[in-house]
Structure 1
């Protein structure tokens, strides 16, 4: 657990936290393209589960060692459609995440935090995703993308890198993610880890943390505090 001290920054995962659930987008993709659910579940368990090898295609994709086309070919060879055939690999990643939509309540929460003088940041494991421009327009600082830094959650080094770029010790940083292993990794590294279920419970958890004596003081400043659409 993180130690006592004022929390001065909150870092957010992107997909499934600042957006609608990733599982919903994947379900839509499976239905649209006729992907056999069990083959995809088995593949994710082998490549992304707690027992996955460190050089699995997902790990290689998230750390930028495998490009999108290479991952799509590997995934297409591993899963099946309901007609028993392998899916077409080209464009698969874009289709998988096409159903992600912004969760406006979460974006509003980032504005609320900034108005309190709390820095907000992004820490995201990327699947060669295209991120919206407003992640990089001054609202979030820093933006740490796994494929750009060659590290992935829950590696403790990526949390340490986040804290270094924030200029804060881990106990002054909270981290929000919808994947329990990533929250646990943050906590082991000394950050305040918050498991995201929905905007309401995450807001309550963060405000409880800040108002329990861990809030940044009024002298904490943060540039670009205007709300953006």
Structure 2
């Protein structure tokens, strides 16, 4: 099956979020246990369909990063018992993301073999390193730019429109299982990303293609 691949950015084309956050926690001297409690509540609500959630609003671009930073910083504590600096909080949080080259090599191999590719990412008002994206993506769908977010069906349908393919001819790759489940509910083949080798092997099997160079 050849067709299209829709793929997440953070934690899939980059190193994991937990590693980046751990670096930020150490650098900003954040109370890690308190941070995890706060984020667990925010993220769980964001994926349980809460009517109003700051994560929803941020990912859809309904509030800007500075507003979210102020809200989040007010709920966090450093080891000194005071909130961290709000300005630049998200940039510092994601600074530890590193590009995963085997995944980019995979995207190039896909396009060489006629598979259409689309970035499908929930943005936290972060800056994406877009250099070279024209070499690996046919389309780019970023939640804050389109006013939709995963796991909402509308953003998947929008991404399918961008590549001009039906769901059954596409594969969606994400490190969040809730997003993969939502894609499968729309007839899109899903891969829950854990590491590059496993994901690439699963994609080779689904597409009946060789994506790793000898």
Query: Smaller-chain TM-score range?
Result: over 0.9
Q: Is the 8 A contact 1:39 1:78 kept in 2?
A: no
| 1-structure distance, mates of 2:202, 2:121 | 20
Partner of 2:212 in structure 1? none
Residues 135 and 62 from structure 1, CA distance in 2 versus in 1: closer, same or farther, beyond 3 angstroms?
Answer: farther
Q: Is the 8 A contact 2:104 2:136 kept in 1?
A: no
Residues 73 and 45 from structure 1, CA distance in 2 versus in 1: closer, same or farther, beyond 3 angstroms?
Answer: same
How much has 1:109 moved relative to structure 2?
0.8
Segments of structure 2 that go 5 or more residues without pairing to the other structure are 210-214
**Aligned-pair RMSD on alpha carbons?**
1.3
| 2-structure distance, mates of 1:54, 1:170 | 28
Partner of 1:181 in structure 2? 178
Q: Does 1:159 align with 2:160?
A: no
| 2-structure distance, mates of 1:31, 1:140 | 34
Residues 135 and 78 from structure 1, CA distance in 2 versus in 1: closer, same or farther, beyond 3 angstroms?
Answer: farther
Q: Does 1:10 align with 2:15?
A: no
How much has 1:96 moved relative to structure 2?
0.3
Partner of 2:87 in structure 1? 90
- What SS class does the counterpart of residue 26 from structure 2 fall into? helix
Partner of 1:226 in structure 2? none
How much has 1:92 moved relative to structure 2?
0.3
Segments of structure 1 that go 5 or more residues without pairing to the other structure are 1-5, 216-229
How much has 1:73 moved relative to structure 2?
0.2
Q: Is the 8 A contact 1:47 1:59 kept in 2?
A: no
- What SS class does the counterpart of residue 134 from structure 1 fall into? coil
- Trace 1:110-129 onto structure 2 (pairs within 5 A): 110-129=107-126
Residues 42 and 54 from structure 1, CA distance in 2 versus in 1: closer, same or farther, beyond 3 angstroms?
Answer: farther
Partner of 1:200 in structure 2? 197
- What SS class does the counterpart of residue 89 from structure 1 fall into? coil
| 2-structure distance, mates of 1:55, 1:136 | 33
Answer with 66-75 or 44-53: which moved more.
44-53
| 2-structure distance, mates of 1:54, 1:178 | 24
Cα-to-partner distance string for 1:26-81 (whole Å, 9 max, x where unaligned): 01000111111122112212211144624211111000001011000000011111
- What SS class does the counterpart of residue 131 from structure 2 fall into? helix
Residues 143 and 186 from structure 1, CA distance in 2 versus in 1: closer, same or farther, beyond 3 angstroms?
Answer: same
Query: TM-score, normalization: structure 1?
Result: 0.87
